[in-house]
Amino acid sequence: MIAAIIGPFAEAVRATVQPCTFLMIVPTATAVIAASARWQALVAAVAAAIVGGWILADNEFLLDGAALRWSAVVVALALVALLLPLLRERVPIPTQLMGRPWTQAAIVAFVVLVATQWWRPCVGRELGNVLSDAQFDLVGQLLPMAFYMLGVMVPIAALVALRYLVEPAERWQAALSGVAGTVGVVIALFLVAGRHESVTVTLTRWTLG
């Protein structure tokens, strides 16, 4: 039982540094940071990642082609919505609601849920076992799949923990959120343009130098 959940978790942690995970983890990180890396955003991201992982294991749904592009449009808009509170002193828009932690967490959850469907995961032995068995016993694989997704989210959790540890000044926090959100929007726009491959290759180069 323990091995059945620890194995997927450990494999997922290792997979977070592999290029095939970037298309899921980078948009997730940008959304969480754009939401000021609050714990509410982390909770929402983890929950959405687990649900997204279950959808992936079920293998009845795939965002591809036009659906992928439209989903990227919506994700870009969602990320812009996360950035609206940063503009509250300059733009006369109702940002009070958008600035609430749980509102932002809900937006993060949506972005993460979509990003998990953009994802083409590395299928190592643990995830391979989960996916192979999920064909015939999906319910039995929900727990190991959830732990796999928890493993994928470890770097995101580390980011949030770091934020609470450092407690950056508000203007630095705002700058970080702005940069992260903008990066997320750019990635989404690349996907809108049908440049899925370019995004993956670019993310790989950024990460592996």
Partner 1 sequence: MQLPGRMIALLSLGALAAIIGVAVVSGQSDDGVLTAAPAVTPEQGSPPSTVATTNQASSTVPAVPVTTEPPVTTEPAVDLPDRGLHPPLRDIDGWLQSDVTSLEELRGQVVAVQFWTFGCSNCKATLSHMQDLYAKYHDQGLEIVGVHSPEFSYEAEVDNIVEAAADLGVTWPIALDPTKHSFHDWQEGPRGFWPRIYLVDRNGHIRYDHRGEGRYDEIDAAVGILLDEPAT
Residue from the set 7, 52, 85, 184 that interacts with partner 1 by CB under 8 A: 7
CB 151 within 8 A of CB 11: yes
Binding to partner 1 (CB under 8 A) within 61-90 occurs at 61-62, 64
Site for partner 1 in 133-162 (CB under 8 A): 133, 135-137, 140, 151, 154, 157-158, 161-162
> What's the angle, vertex CA 50, arms to CA 176 and CA 112, rounded to 5?
35
Contact by Cβ (8 Å): 112, 55: no
- For partner 1, which stretch binds (CB under 8 A), given 44-52, 98-106, 108-116, 164-172? 164-172
If one asks whether residue 129 binds partner 1 (CB under 8 A), the answer comes out as yes
Residues 6+ apart with CB under 8 A from 31: 41, 45, 78, 79, 82, 107, 108, 111, 112, 115, 180, 181, 184
Nearer of residues 87 and 142 to partner 1, judged by Cβ:
142
Distance between CA atoms of residues 198 and 72, nearest Å: 15
DSSP state of 17: T
Q: Pick between residue 95 and residue 129 the one whose CB is nearest to partner 1.
A: 129
Site string for partner 1, 43-62 (x = CB under 8 A): -------------x--xxxx
Q: Is the Cβ–Cβ distance between 36 and 136 less than 8 Å? A: no
Tell me how far apart the alpha carbons of residues 141 and 74 are, in angstroms, rounded to a whole number.
30
Please choose, out of 72-80, 93-101, 163-171, 178-186, the segment that lies near partner 1 by the rule CB under 8 A. Answer: 163-171
Please, which residue, 78 or 121, has the CB nearer to partner 1? 121
Give me the 85-124 binding string for partner 1, x by CB under 8 A, dash otherwise: -----------------------------------x-xxx
Report the 3 state secondary structure along 37-91: CCHHHHHHHHHHHHHHHHHHHHCCCCCCHHHHHHHHHHHHHHHHHHHHHHHCCCC
Sites of contact with partner 1 (CB under 8 A): 3, 6-7, 9-11, 13-14, 18, 20, 56, 59-62, 64, 120, 122-129, 131-133, 135-137, 140, 151, 154, 157-158, 161-165, 167, 197, 200-201
